[in-house]
Chain A
Amino acid sequence: MLDESRPIFLQIAGRIENDIVSGTLQEEGQVPSTNEFAAFFRINPATAAKGINRLVDEGLLYKRRGIGMFVATGAKARLLDRRREEFVQQYVQPLVHEAHKLGITSDQLIEIITGSTPQAASIERRVAQ
Chain B
Amino acid sequence: MTNPPGVISLRNVTKRYRDTTALDGVTLDIEGGKIYGLLGRNGAGKTTLMSLLSAQNFETSGDVRVFGEHPYENDGVLARVCFVRESQKYPDDFKAGHALKAASLFFPGWDAAFAAELVDELQLPLKRSIKKLSRGQLSAVGVIIGLASRAEITVFDEPYLGLDAVARQIFYDRLVSDYAEHPRTIILSSHLIDEVANLLEHVILLDAGHVIIDDDAEAIRDSAATVLGAADAVASFVEGRTVLHRETLGTLASVTIDGRLTEAERAGAAYQGLELLPVSLQQLVIRKTKKQEHTERASASPIRTGARQ
Partner of B218, one of A4, A9, A34: A9
Given known pairs A8-B198, A9-B218, the reply for A44 and B176 (CB within 8 Å) is yes
Partner of B198, one of A5, A6, A35, A41: A41
Would you give the shortest CB distance from B282 to chain A, in whole angstroms? 10
Q: What residues of B have a CB within 8 angstroms of the CB of A42 in the complex?
A: 172-173, 176, 198-199
Would you give the shortest CB distance from B181 to chain A, in whole angstroms? 7
For the complex, give the distance between the alpha carbons of A44 and B278 in Å: 20
For the complex, give the distance between the alpha carbons of A60 and B180 in Å: 24
Tell me whether B222 and A7 are in contact (CB under 8 A). yes
B residues near A, CB below 8 A? Answer: 34-35, 172-173, 176-177, 179-181, 183, 198-201, 217-218, 221-222, 278, 280
A side interface size, CB within 8 A: 19
Q: Encode contact with B along A27-65: 1 for CB under 8 Å, 0 otherwise.
A: 000000011001101111111001000000000000000
Interface of B is mostly: helix
Q: Encode contact with B along A57-97: 1 for CB under 8 Å, 0 otherwise.
A: 00000000000000000000000000000000000000000
Tell me whether B280 and A4 are in contact (CB under 8 A). yes
Interface: A112 (CB within 8 A): no
Tell me whether B222 and A43 are in contact (CB under 8 A). no
Q: What residues of A have a CB within 8 angstroms of the CB of B172 in the complex?
A: 42
For the complex, give the distance between the alpha carbons of A9 and B199 in Å: 12
Q: Which residue of A lies closest to B195 (CB)?
A: A42
Q: What residues of A have a CB within 8 angstroms of the CB of B181 in the complex?
A: 35
Interface: A123 (CB within 8 A): no
Q: What residues of B have a CB within 8 angstroms of the CB of A2 in the complex?
A: 198
Tell me whether B222 and A44 are in contact (CB under 8 A). no
Tell me whether A43 and B221 are in contact (CB under 8 A). no
Tell me whether A45 and B222 are in contact (CB under 8 A). no
Q: What residues of A have a CB within 8 angstroms of the CB of B34 in the complex?
A: 44, 46
Q: What residues of B have a CB within 8 angstroms of the CB of A45 in the complex?
A: 176, 179-180, 183
